[in-house]
Chain A
């Protein structure tokens, strides 16, 4: 089936590209490949990798252009997961901690940067990051110093990035970190005498943000209308019913006798367990007239409730569209969303919720592959944090101390992994600033983070990283934490501006740099002939990294 898709897609590409793009499809000689199979060009490969990973590297581009998108995706999906907890454990001896110290936030960030920059399972890590901005927990909370617990939550996303969404939802629901963040942990059955009723926090947010959203959707992501009005998916009574479902869960090891002993039971490395004495066993009325009978166990109730959410027709367009926005484009066409929803609803083998199929459908869709050649508004603002990671991957970053320590992403980018200010993430999927975008009815979710102040800081970060942070500048030093890029791949191209720009264009823009931009940069670069090579190259790189064309991934 997927072979068929690729063929159709390639035909589409051939049909859609005019004269200027004829070199984009490279056909390997028939003697090498028995069946005629079209493989992506290096530019197409780089562009694909810039959506599917934390950034294209030369070796990844080479590899992908030799095997094609789908084989590459299958290999990535099959690849074992790189664990953040395991990395943190291996890192711990290097942290020089005293006996009563635990790894801090910086160690978790170092783990994240190291894996984003070096892990082989790039697709999985990139999808996990996207999921971490949907299924949000944050260190901006009471458990913010629980470095292992947060890394363990991140591993949950990594491990289940290609699992079934139903499984992922259950793991998330039973995560003690999520349990603390959205109050399932310790949630108890009603106590009418004390005016205590179940906590509604998770009951509300799991519907609003993690599964079905506020209003009924069509498969193409558009809102269903009744008499011109949207249709609410749930009301306060639904929330109350689900709040009763999510009662009776606590840290692994908790018993009815120790239910209240939070610190004694504290355990964020294993899923929560049910303590039936604190679970509400009344009958509950969920969505779509599903009735949960009385006297079930906490787990029986939970299974029915998560099924109730999972089988709601909104999940495919609600989650599918958000993942499209996180990876590919802020303004997908309804047809694109509908195709992705269809893959969520049925992976081709009758299975609903297969995330591997969903991710493949998102990345292999003709809209993702064709990009701006079929829709001029295609693309998304790159998240500022990911601009840094992309730069470092593209230019083989290293540090004199041989680690990737970067402790202030929040300051430079207004974001850091698992560190949003609230469950609504750093930015809303529906954000659009007024002006040109709202006039064209276009969204730019990531721009919610890009205030004047943070745009300046991100530009300055890129200035330090490109202009002054490359390997020629300093000697080796174990205390030197700077992350330095390596411009050596560019030096052989310095006397051929066209080739140099083509290389940078491939690595950073997947070959999508416009003709006018190439002219401007060529002229500017040629005018610096005779100046010091590294200064010339780093300045060119800086201009690309801060350009709007680069900032919009397309």
Chain B
């Protein structure tokens, strides 16, 4: 399917549900979408998805702090509760049902929060539509498919469209609509391998890693002595008839058409003036900052980055693992923010976390199992930081109205709302947002308000 057909298909299939006027507006949208070039945007913006693989136990990030509230928290979390002596209070702008604190191992994040560079989005997760406890218990059709399964919930976070029969993620669909089709380099750049988030119907992410981009040895077209080899290889590619072989060749072609420009951009970028901690996430974010700082050279007024961190599936040893995980995340975010500030890019780049699910409030002995809703982190100069958005659960006790069982908390904000808020800041029009997030209209707020109006 070429891009024109895809855009028509996407828009007609998602908007065909609406009225005739919607169909009309979808036609004009097709035309405007196809006219996109880098000239559409005269500013620079980037989104950075930090995927926390395994399901972050984020109910141990934002912790009720007053005596009674802490006791309720401790009563349900038992041996997994963070000690009250380890808590550092925060003062969100909005009023919360109870006072909150972050654990001391997140103190770099607390600093970003108090400086207004970071916000939390409370109790967010995959939803087909708003659902309360009795609805969820009585009608399994209202639950996201394969609720509590890692890969299915990751997919829901990344596609925001569980009913689709094709395989595209929301960042990929955004690129389908606004990418600059004359630029061989995708606006979706992955530093963490293949992912469905950045996979569109017609656009694909370009993948490199934290150390940069690998250059070809014996297939390097810049070396004269490879000329004959490349000639033969080009003929062999053209002669390939098997679809799997053609798909493999397509990856080669993408690599070959982008290596030079990306490698040059990386080489021309200035070294960060701040020091990053030495961990895998920080290394990935350092590469993001490098690529962001060279966006002009890459002719990319819009970029979406994917980085990831593993280890959050804390079924075991949570008390020893979680402080390390969240400290690593906090320190990496802190360094990244400082780097972007030093490069003058802090207002242009918004970083946000996603994670499979929250985890059970109850313990399985030394860890937690797969839950549902959880809190997410949003960071950047364009974020209305120092606040908590969405709704904190009113009540931490087991079998509360928010508890789907064993402390699996029913989300009160959907992935769709979260992502659509980011998409709006990124510069997508209302129609484009509806096309990318076909389920958004089922929720009553399409902008959660955590981004500054631009």
Contacts and interface: CB of A to CB of B under 8 A. Distances in A.
B149 A451 contact: no
Given A196-B365, A435-B204, A552-B244, A456 B255 contact: yes
Interface stretch (B95-103, B333-341, B366-374, B409-417): B366-374
B216 A459 contact: yes
A549 B236 contact: yes
A80 to B, nearest CB: 36
A276 to B, nearest CB: 17
A276 B200 CA distance: 52
Contacts of A180: 316
Interface stretch (A181-189, A314-322, A394-402): A181-189
Interface in A130-157: 140, 142
Contacts of B224: none
Contacts of B228: 524, 527
B251 A455 contact: yes
Interface in B47-71: 53-54
Given A330-B244, A428-B151, A463 B367 contact: no
Contact of B243 (A140, A186, A414, A442): A442
B57 to A, nearest CB: 14
Q: Which of B208, B244, B363, B365 has the most CB of A within 10 A?
A: B244
A196 B367 CA distance: 9
A199 B80 CA distance: 14
Contacts of B247: 433, 435-437, 444, 447
A422 interface: yes
Interface in A522-544: 524, 527, 539, 542-543
A198 B191 CA distance: 37
A431 B155 CA distance: 12
A15 interface: no
A551 interface: yes
A453 B213 contact: yes
B410 to A, nearest CB: 13
B207 A549 contact: no
B236 A460 contact: no
Contacts of B294: none
B443 interface: no
Contacts of A206: none
A422 B310 contact: yes
B426 to A, nearest CB: 21
A511 B376 CA distance: 54
A440 B406 CA distance: 44
Interface stretch (A1-9, A59-67, A216-224, A377-385): A377-385
A548 to B, nearest CB: 3
B214 A521 contact: no
B453 interface: no
Interface string A506-530: 0000000010110011001001000
Contacts of A551: 245, 248
Nearest to A442: B243
Interface string A112-129: 000000000000000000
Given A236-B405, A433-B204, A380 B149 contact: no
A197 B364 contact: yes
Nearest to B245: A548
Given A195-B76, A457-B214, A514-B239, A543 B370 contact: no
B239 A520 contact: yes
Contact of B248 (A236, A447, A448, A539): A447
B241 interface: yes
B208 A452 contact: yes
Interface string A451-472: 1111111011001100100000
A264 interface: no
Interface string B412-424: 0000000000000
Contact of A437 (B76, B231, B240, B243): B243
B194 A434 contact: no
A381 to B, nearest CB: 6
B157 interface: no
Contact of B367 (A183, A444, A453, A520): A183
B17 interface: no
A438 B140 CA distance: 30
Contact of B316 (A183, A194, A467, A516): A183
Nearest to B361: A195
Contacts of A287: none
Contact of A204 (B149, B190, B233, B249): B149
Contacts of A182: 315
A15 B245 CA distance: 28
Nearest to A141: B311
- Interface-centre pick from A180, A236, A516, A542 (highest chain B CB count, 10 A): A236
B149 A187 contact: no
A516 B204 contact: no
A542 B218 CA distance: 9
B216 A539 contact: no
Interface in A458-511: 459-460, 463-464, 467
A88 B53 CA distance: 33
A424 interface: yes
B20 interface: no
Given A436-B247, A455-B255, A548-B242, A142 B149 contact: no
A237 to B, nearest CB: 9
B1 interface: yes
Given A204-B370, A379-B244, 15 more contacts: A195-B77, A201-B369, A239-B148, A421-B53, A435-B247, A444-B244, A449-B193, A453-B209, A454-B207, A455-B255, A517-B236, A517-B239, A527-B228, A548-B246, A552-B245
Interface of B: 1, 53-54, 75-79, 140, 146-152, 166-168, 190, 193-194, 199-202, 204, 206-209, 213-219, 228-229, 231-233, 235-237, 239-252, 254-255, 258-259, 310, 313, 315-317, 362-367, 369-370, 398, 405-406
What 7 pairs across the A-B complex have the smallest Cβ distances?
Answer: A548-B245, A451-B207, A463-B218, A452-B255, A199-B364, A201-B315, A456-B214
15 contacts: A197-B364, A199-B365, A201-B316, A204-B370, A422-B54, A422-B150, A424-B150, A428-B151, A453-B209, A456-B259, A463-B218, A543-B232, A548-B237, A548-B248, A549-B242
